[in-house]
Structure 1
Amino acid sequence: MQHSQEPIRTPRLILRQWQPSDLPVYAALNADPEVRRFWPTLLTRAQSDEQAEGFQRHIEEHGFGFWALEVPGVAPFVGFTGLMRVDSSMPFAPGVEIGWRLAREHWGKGYVTEAARAALADGFGRLGLSEIVSYAVVGNEASFSVMKRIGMNRDQAGDLDIPGREALHRRAELYRVHRNQVNAANGNSR
């Protein structure tokens, strides 16, 4: 597996390594109750910085991760999208997941779908992955819609419990996409 840290570019976006200037914006995003509605808690500035630093380390170590998402000419940082190794505590580990989080003022513009398609292409191309998964708490229809738009299918095993989460934020739906499915799905319009 090639360990590249080069930015991934799409027609409107850049998926890149994190920068210090991203941290205050990321902290504000993680302090927004609407953005964090499907997570157990809001994050403090220290927790948010620690999480971003973990994402940066993952990219440095593995050549991929949850990339900082930039919209040139609009905003230098709007959130993240990318691929990450699944935490070993998850019931579907080992594997690689696709994930995203976006500041609320940038919702509804297709950024996550565009960035997620680029991340899938990188995962199935450069990284040579055969499958990528994603999950979201039951009720998170916006994330489920993105998963479907990028060609993912709900896992037939049904819902799962996320370890260490309280009941309200524990139950999740798991989606999967295989390398041979992504080309057909991503030919669809945004």
Structure 2
Amino acid sequence: MRIVTLHGRRLTLRPWRAEDLQPLHVLNGDPESMRHFPAVMTRAESDAWAARLQAHMEAHGWGFWVAEEHGGAPFVGVVGLMNIPWEARFTPAVEVGWRISPAFRRRGYAAEAARLALDFGFGTLGLPEIVAFTVPGNTASRRLMERLGMRPDGTFEHPRLPEGHELRRHLLYRLAAPAR
């Protein structure tokens, strides 16, 4: 399937390349970047995650793209849409998510890229709703979800984390498609 590329004012959301694996590993191996996730990733774990993201893109033509800065950095982070592969009270669903490299935070790149993904999801894909979620302590992501117009919809226990894990409780946010 042909993989879609999205173009924004400052960023392009593009398909994966082999050279993206190293900066992705740096991002996934950074304790500060991964503080709201169960653990930093080894190179093998990061590469396996990238392979899952790429497989989703190859199957659907969209997914978590690599965010590239126009005329600048070839890897700002990963941003996009994903079919949620596990069961919860709100699935089946498509999530919007982002992971931005530290050097590119606080520039509005996550918001710009997330809006590109949301516009694609609602416009091209015709999705009725897109969700996002994070742990309660991730105030930066929560603020971005709210700036994107997403509304909180309670909590859920992340099924991929064991009972009693300090990060198992997640906050759910929802965004309905704009009225046409």
Same fold? TM cut 0.5: yes
Structure 1 gaps of 5+ residues are 184-190
1:99 to 78, 97, 100: 97
Instruction: Report how many aligned residue pairs link the two structures.
Output: 178
- TM-score, normalised to structure 2, is 0.94
SS in 1 for 2:118: helix
Corresponding residue number in structure 2 for 1:168? 166
Distance 1:118 1:4 in 2: 18
Superposed counterparts of 1:60-139, under 5 Å: 60-139=58-137
Distance 2:63 2:160 in 1: 23
Distance 1:123 1:66 in 2: 12
Q: Which amino acid aligns with 2:173?
A: Y
Structure 2 gaps of 5+ residues are none
**Alpha-carbon offset, residue 4 of structure 1:** 4.7
- TM-score, normalised to structure 1, is 0.90
**Can you list the C-alpha shifts for 1:104-149, whole angstroms capped at 9, x where unaligned?**
1111000000000010000001111000000001110110111111
Distance 1:32 1:125 in 2: 35
Corresponding residue number in structure 2 for 1:44? 42
Q: Which amino acid aligns with 1:16?
A: R
**Alpha-carbon offset, residue 101 of structure 1:** 0.3
User: Among the aligned pairs, what percent are the same residue?
Assistant: 44
Corresponding residue number in structure 2 for 1:159? 155
SS in 1 for 2:178: helix
Structure 1 residue ranges (4+ consecutive) displaced by more than 4 angstroms after TM superposition: none
**Alpha-carbon offset, residue 89 of structure 1:** 2.9
SS in 2 for 1:105: helix
SS in 2 for 1:175: strand
Distance 2:35 2:82 in 1: 22
Is 1:16 matched up with 2:14? yes
